[in-house]
Structure 1
Amino acid sequence: MPEPHKEESPLAGPESPQARDARADPSAAVGGDFFEARVAALLEAGRKAVLLTVISRQGSAPRAAGTRALLTEDGFEGTIGGGALEARALEAARESLAAGISARVSCDLTGLSPESDMICGGSMEVLCEALMPQQAAVFALAAHVLRAGGSGVWTVDVSRESLPRRCLHLESLPREFAGLADSPAVRQGLEAAAPLLEKLGNKPGLLAGGDRAMYVEPLSAPPVLLLCGGGHVSLEVAALARACGFVVDVVDDRPEFSDPARFPMARRCVTLPGFEGLVEACGIGRRHYVAIVTRGHSFDREVLAQTLASHAAYIGMIGSRAKREQVYAALREQGVPDAELAAVRCPIGLPVGAESPQQIAVAVVAELLAARAGTLHRLRFEE
């Protein structure tokens, strides 16, 4: 890839700014925060909200279990797949919003009329969950756990579809939320939830038997894209990655290029002179995908040397093959083994012939999604 110069869903009402922010995928960070935080803020403000969740999928239905969207009095935020299924679910969700009563919606996509234009087949079931103000604290707790990089399990007993019972299971309760220790919506310890999640292969899904039905969903923080460098390419990558489910952090050695006003979609912007102490300053861990797009080869080399010593899930560096060999040669002289360098994706992005910052962003984010899905090795073509 050339190295750049360095230097539709139907609405239930008027679309709010929050809805515009969350339209692509509300399970990603909303305004730099998590979906759970968005829900908590709505409920704390006394706003009505219905949480739409795909709880089961069979066949070739468009979205998997765990896909979420929100309906508020301001409009619909997100999508659960569009088309006839979403229209049916939205109709039920509007009724739930008005009456405060939850519902489950099933849609057999193989049985729709030809006019529906839904030929993918399969079936989906959606829970339209009318949220209550008293649930605000539980969603706030979930957001707190996610910000801290923790995990847990959501369970929703949907045996009575009009009255689902949601519970958050955590290893331990953070001190700040000690007041929820006796809440029936919070359970300390994963003994009850972990076996259920294991039955589902650690993925969201519905377990049903007899007169009981339980939806189970892991609470796990989304991946973090750390953009090292805040130039033109990073701007485009940040916006697209954010829409595709990544939490975005930005770091640069220049304050004007790591300004939150420049990156409103970012969770965090860090100014780090010389990119020194990068791993510690940005907390790079196993959820991190690092894209190295600084303003110069020396900075790229410095950032790469540091991130190779981290536990990042993915490291990519922008630049030509000639630059790659120059940077790699310098790192080899510093004792970096070839095995570590071989894991770096450089030139970054799938080889689609991208040239403009917007095109490069598509190539980069496509590669990030492939890395996350485990399909990158098959898709990446090396000359």
Structure 2
Amino acid sequence: MSLFNKAAELEKQNKAFALITITGSDGSAPRNSGRMILLPDGTIFGTIGGGPAERLVMKEGLKCLKEGVSRSVSYRLDSGNSANSIDMVCGGNMEFFIEVFQPRPALFLAGGGHVNLALAELAEKLNYPYVVADTRPGIASKDRFPEALGHICEPDSPSLFATASARGLIGKETSLIIATHNHDDSALEAALKTESSYIGMLGSKRKVHLFMNKMKDLGFSEKDLARVYSPIGLDLGAETPHEIAVSILAEIMKLRTNSSGQSLKRLSMNEPPLVIVRGAGDIASGVICRLKNSGFRVVALETEEPTVIRRTVSFADALRFKSATVEGIQAVRVDNEDDLKRIISDQKIPLLCDPHGLWIEKLKPLCVVDAILAKRNLGTRIDMAPVVIALGPGFTAGKDVHCVIETMRGHSLGQVILEGDPLPNTGIPGTIGGYTSERVIKAPAEGVIDVLCDIESIVKKGEVLARIGETEVLSPLDGVVRGMIAPGTRVKKGLKMADVDPRGEVSYCRQVSDKARAVAGGVLEALLQLSPGILKGTET
């Protein structure tokens, strides 16, 4: 078999190899031309002259295969002490080009029905290798799928995946597509036990919801389930098996190339940069408003049951009521990427229930802002985005994040800290109307809260604001209820649940606070400082 036929065979088998070619020689070099194929296990086909030169180039070739990069190398064939000298008496010089051929991302088709058959036909045209597996004899066959790298038939889905894994046919880069005739749930369970980063499953929204809940009951985490793309494919209006196949491969290509998947026309319009804000309480919402008004696209992430008290100026309320408006800006709860893009296009703020920040990896924002204000880091990392900003204590600028914004009321409120820590948390609220701790009410008992005086209520000192079971919660002073935790919330003893403003100005209840504006200004300053020119030429 010729060397080029061997290379073609390895490519068809989707195996990694390096093609090493002599590209130059002079003096008394042993060979002037030659090629050799090198496999990751050290196996070779052909030769470039043998001896010390070949052994040294093979060593370099194995490094290239491990790193996945091609490179040129040159050596002096003498007994010198330089780094590129080979102890050979013949003298001269030799140059080599080590060209690395990496395996292409493969597809694992669980099910050999109409959609996966159409997907296989399209994969062949796009040079995507694939494996097909089915529990029905004769379906995953060479006659039906002639170009498949492997054909697997086992009595059940776990066995299909176990056999494929044992044969080395499923890896992290393998895209798993589940379209079985009636075993999608067991196939999904088996797929989640692999290391594949993409698991796509055909199915309606109702089916997906049921299966995902079943996977949670089986103990799979949110991080595990984030690998599942179902309903599968991009929204292309696909109906026929071949149209569905196009939408599936388009989604796989989008994720593999880390591209947006948007219309090229839309991209040419220079869309504003994307910022993800973790948290949607009152300070976070002030940041969101400032960024949105400054021309950025913003996405907010929150927990399922946020315990914010300044609900009238917090986008977090959109989780309960589907939408919330703060100073003319509307946030809308969304649960999928298609709705998210639509809401952004409508100049609104998409709000996702995502306490672990799983959407950050999907959306690839320019900036992540941790505005949770938990006084500790709940998982934000400096490598999450090109710019990562955190608010308040619990973070070190230059280590956990790129910068921290000071949140302590006083002379340094809103300061951009590029190195080091912000002021430590004192546990004492800022002064408003001459009051500090007195104006903030903490739950005196554990239980479900029954609100009697909600936000904007004018109250007197000693008036009953709420009840937690049989325990009454009294107003500590005269004023207006500026903050109150949502009615029906189960609270723990000591949780911050309300805020009475002694100034008594009802309009303040629906305005972003001075503190939130100062902190938001710091975030905007930091973002523009760390990414100069990012808004130049964009359309808002």
TM (norm. structure 1) is 0.53
- Counterpart in the other structure of 2:122: 240
- 1:349 equivalent to 2:218? Answer no
Percent identity, aligned pairs only? Answer: 26
1:1-383 equivalences under 5 Å are: 44=1, 133=2, 135=3, 140=6, 143=9, 151-159=16-24, 165-174=34-43, 187=55, 190-193=58-61, 202-204=68-70, 214-283=96-165, 284-296=170-182, 299-375=183-259, 381-383=337-339
- Counterpart in the other structure of 2:385: none
- Counterpart in the other structure of 1:117: none
Aligned residue type for 1:166:
R
Aligned residue type for 2:126:
C
Aligned residue type for 2:59:
E
Q: Measure the CA separation in 2 of the matches of 1:258 and 1:239.
A: 14
Cα 1:239–1:213, aligned 2, differ >3 Å: closer, same or farther?
A: farther
DSSP-derived class of the 1:258 partner: coil
DSSP-derived class of the 2:229 partner: coil
Q: Measure the CA separation in 2 of the matches of 1:334 and 1:155.
A: 49
- Contact kept? 2:17, 2:40, Cα under 8 Å: yes
Q: Measure the CA separation in 2 of the matches of 1:266 and 1:145.
A: 13
Q: Measure the CA separation in 2 of the matches of 1:153 and 1:178.
A: 10
Cα drift, residue 153 of structure 1: 2.7
Q: How many residues align?
A: 240
Gaps of 5+ in 2: 26-31, 75-92, 264-335, 340-540
Cα 1:321–1:152, aligned 2, differ >3 Å: closer, same or farther?
A: same
Q: Measure the CA separation in 2 of the matches of 1:196 and 1:261.
A: 38
Cα drift, residue 196 of structure 1: 6.8
Cα drift, residue 270 of structure 1: 0.9
Cα 1:326–1:223, aligned 2, differ >3 Å: closer, same or farther?
A: same
Cα 1:206–1:141, aligned 2, differ >3 Å: closer, same or farther?
A: closer
DSSP-derived class of the 2:19 partner: strand
Q: Measure the CA separation in 2 of the matches of 1:172 and 1:195.
A: 12
- Counterpart in the other structure of 1:98: none
TM (norm. structure 2) is 0.39
Note the alpha carbon deviations across 1:91-139, whole angstroms, 9 max, x for none.
xxxxxxxxxxxxxxxxxxxxxxxxxxxxxxxxxxxxxxxxxx4x36xx6
- Contact kept? 1:320, 1:347, Cα under 8 Å: yes
Note the alpha carbon deviations across 1:156-187, whole angstroms, 9 max, x for none.
23348xx753233445435xx79989858975
Higher relative contact order (CA 8 A, sep 6+): 1
DSSP-derived class of the 1:173 partner: coil
Cα 1:194–1:269, aligned 2, differ >3 Å: closer, same or farther?
A: closer
Cα root mean square deviation, aligned: 4.0
Q: Measure the CA separation in 2 of the matches of 1:364 and 1:377.
A: 12
Q: Measure the CA separation in 2 of the matches of 1:248 and 1:188.
A: 36
Q: Measure the CA separation in 2 of the matches of 1:164 and 1:181.
A: 7
Aligned residue type for 1:192:
E
Cα 1:310–1:197, aligned 2, differ >3 Å: closer, same or farther?
A: closer
DSSP-derived class of the 1:249 partner: strand
Q: Measure the CA separation in 2 of the matches of 1:315 and 1:189.
A: 39
- Contact kept? 2:110, 2:133, Cα under 8 Å: yes
- Contact kept? 1:153, 1:193, Cα under 8 Å: yes
Q: Measure the CA separation in 2 of the matches of 1:158 and 1:355.
A: 52
Q: Measure the CA separation in 2 of the matches of 1:195 and 1:328.
A: 42
Q: Measure the CA separation in 2 of the matches of 1:286 and 1:311.
A: 5
Cα drift, residue 278 of structure 1: 3.0
Cα drift, residue 360 of structure 1: 0.6
- Contact kept? 2:172, 2:195, Cα under 8 Å: yes
